[in-house]
Amino acid sequence: MLKHLLFILIFFVSIVMGTFAESVKIKSFTLELPGGFTGPIRQSAGPTEMWAFSKSHESSETNSLIQFSIINLDEASADDPVRPPTVTNKDLLLKMLAGIERRRTDFWKGNYKEIKLAGIPANKIEWSGSVENFKMKGVYYTFIYERFLYAISLQDIMPFADDHLPLMQKSIELIKKR
């Protein structure tokens, strides 16, 4: 009995430990990436910096995606609609999500929540839609920290989204300040 219990415990710990494969630093935060994710791919343009991490799907040319768009609010133009104090955090979330909505058909958004990420007030919303022949699901987060707007997009195609999105969300929701 003890031998079986020990085996189950070791098996469970190895599954839990294997869930997150790599620790990465993004600005003022540390993120534990889910297993199998690679990156970052980084791009900068004006006040915006993007960090992307992806995980290839077996026998498919598609990927799961975790993308951070980080906007320096002090460098954003005065007429930029994402520049506070002209908008609230929920308004920011919806304005940023509109970019995803424009590129999808059959778009749905819902289950809006105010949460905390690393102790910072944040917003979260779920979405689904289609692009070409792919049905997709995603989760979108926004928060402001040290005059930077963080917009975090998680997305995946079906049926992979049902397995991968919960791990991706857990990764984001366990983010830590450095």
CB 63 within 8 A of CB 56: yes
Look at residue 96 and tell me whether its pLDDT is greater than 90.
Answer: no
What distance in Å separates the CA atoms of residue 105 and residue 122, rounded to the nearest whole number? 27
Question: For 43-83, what is each residue's pLDDT tens digit?
Answer: 999 999 999 999 999 877 899 999 999 999 888 777 776 66
Residue 70: both structure tokens together: 């980080």
Average pLDDT score over residue span 17-27: 72
pLDDT at 16: 36
Tens-digit pLDDT profile for residues 126-170 = 999 999 889 999 999 999 999 899 999 999 999 999 999 999 999
Give the whole-angstrom CA distance, residue 61 versus residue 63.
7
- pLDDT of 90: 84
What pLDDT does 12 receive?
33
Count of C-beta atoms within a 10 Å radius of residue 169: 17
DSSP state of 87: S
Which domains are present in the chain?
Answer: 22-177 (3.40.1000.10)
- Predicted local distance difference test score (pLDDT) of residue 92: 80
Whole-prediction pTM? 0.83
Predicted pLDDT of residue 157: 95
